Structure 1
Amino acid sequence: MAVQPEGTPCWADAMFGDVEGAKSFYGDVLGWTFGESSTEYGNYTQAYSDGKAVAAVVPPMPGQEGQSAWCLYFASPDVAATAGKIRDNGGEVLMEPMQVGDFGSMLLARDPGGVVFGVWQAGVHEGFEKTGEPGAYCWAEVFTRDPAKADAFFPAVFPYRAQQLEDEAIDFRIFNLGDETVLGRMKMTDEFPPEVAPYLNVYFSVDDCDAAVTRATERGGVLRLGPMDSPFGRFATLSDPQGAAFSVVDLTTTKGDMPKASDVS
């Protein structure tokens, strides 16, 4: 697998106070298996689907306990240079660029609207070993209350070309790398309670959306939205038992016409 182009979502992980509980939940819902925890790197534990690395779970570091959440990482050829772009465009670097053995280098940041994300400069760990297949990452959307800030920030930090969906019902933008759409941006409406912070919603592909929702809710997950049909697939948004939000989507069950999108200058 080649190193991903700059700005490509390339990895996802989450901190859990109960790592064993998270492994049991996602193992059941997404079919993941887990490798040995790496004590050298804070008991970081990789998740696998069909033997291919798809995500990781890790316990919080002392003093960093809090709400569990999925973190999406974007590929960068130079995390230090990306850190500069983040600061220059109104973002905040939460964790300075850090070498992680020979695996690669990372940073954590927050956009001007409050969305937390990661950046990954690949070493021997190049990121997802599969995407877009059941059990693997397939899509993500920036949920923000300040779309103007997100729309200015992300294409300034990464080489994105933006398009706006021609839909009066929602304010939705997509970011492209070349001909590939890699990220969405959704304006959070008043339907989102004020205590819900802006976030990156990560989608994992499943064979059957409804069956995945049933497994998740039976295991203590909370259904937040759906399941519902769309031109992109049948999807649902959930919170896991520790409060981390994520979505599942069956990419093979599509309904309706693809919305039109127009370039944004």
Structure 2
Amino acid sequence: MAENRASRYAEGVPCWVDVQLPDVEAGKRFYGDLFGWSFEDSYALKEGERVAALLPKTDGRMPTVWTVYFATPDVEALARRVLEAGGNIVAAPLETRSGEAVTALVTDPEGAVFGLWQPLAHPGFGRRHEIGTFAWAQLYARDTETANDFYGPLFHAALFGPDAKPDFGRAPVADVFFPEMPPHFVVHFRVADCARAVERVTGLGGRVQAPPFETSYGTVAVVTDNQGASFALLQRPD
């Protein structure tokens, strides 16, 4: 099976993303125009396959954010390991309303939030690494050694195993953002032309947090949508 159409994901591989928005319909118009997504209920589709979810924000006190989920065959066991490694649980393991997965929200020792995803009927991305789909998750940490000490053992096979093809990197917060910004994950979506995609974001009412810059994995720009959710655009090298 092609790498970008995997039916299941090994533990520690980013396998799903969602965003909680105050206005889901406005979000559909923004992302549909930007990435060519169509929609089926809360699911964003590319070529008819699920690539993300746009969910209604139910608590105004919570941030408007994209969340990346890492695959696991046992969400409760992985949540315990997160605690043992110095992280915290934000939302305990719970089956989704659709019954398609068991999920949890946790943090690393520095407070960066990420999700855990145990598939039931929904294994995760139907497509990834293509234009308009998930391509990378970057953790911006205060201390990358602390991050390495936490995520290395937690997701060792996905990061360092013989078949590892990581979709996940770490960098200091101050490399891109103000040093005072809390540690956090930034979800990256692949685009054909980063500069043009940035122009499209601003044309749709979004804004630029970090204009295009070069990384080891491609040209990246960090932007927000028209409701304030941050994400990144990634143009891979030819």
Relative to the length of structure 1, the TM-score reads: 0.81
Are the equivalent residues in 2 in contact too, given 1:134–1:206 (CA < 8 A)? Answer: yes
Cα distance in 2 for partners of 1:230, 1:116 equals: 23
Cα distance in 2 for partners of 1:91, 1:67 equals: 20
Displacement after TM superposition at 1:182 (Å) = 2.8
Give aligned pairs, total. 231
Q: SS at the partner of 1:180?
A: coil
Displacement after TM superposition at 1:25 (Å) = 1.0
Q: Which residue of 2 aligns with 1:53?
A: 50
Give 2:142's match in structure 1, choosing from 140, 145, 158. Answer: 145
Change (3 A) 1:151 1:232: closer
Cα distance in 2 for partners of 1:143, 1:228 equals: 15
Cα distance in 1 for partners of 2:177, 2:210 equals: 11
Change (3 A) 1:231 1:110: closer
Contiguous gaps of at least 5 residues in structure 1: 37-44, 162-174, 255-265
Answer yes or no: is 1:109 the counterpart of 2:106: yes
Change (3 A) 1:191 1:121: closer
Written as runs of structure 1 = structure 2, the 5 A alignment for 1:29-178 is 29-36=34-41, 45-61=42-58, 63=59, 65-100=61-96, 101-160=98-157, 175-178=159-162
CA RMSD of aligned residues (A): 1.9
Cα distance in 2 for partners of 1:60, 1:239 equals: 16
Q: Which residue of 1 aligns with 2:193?
A: 208
Which structure's relative contact order is higher, taking Cα pairs within 8 Å and 6+ residues apart?
Answer: 2
Whichever structure has more helix as a proportion of its residues is 2
Relative to the length of structure 2, the TM-score reads: 0.90
Change (3 A) 1:19 1:155: same
Change (3 A) 1:112 1:55: same
The residue type paired with residue 26 of structure 2 is G
Change (3 A) 1:99 1:142: same
Cα distance in 1 for partners of 2:39, 2:191 equals: 18
Q: SS at the partner of 2:104?
A: strand
Contiguous gaps of at least 5 residues in structure 2: 1-5
Identity of aligned residues (%): 35
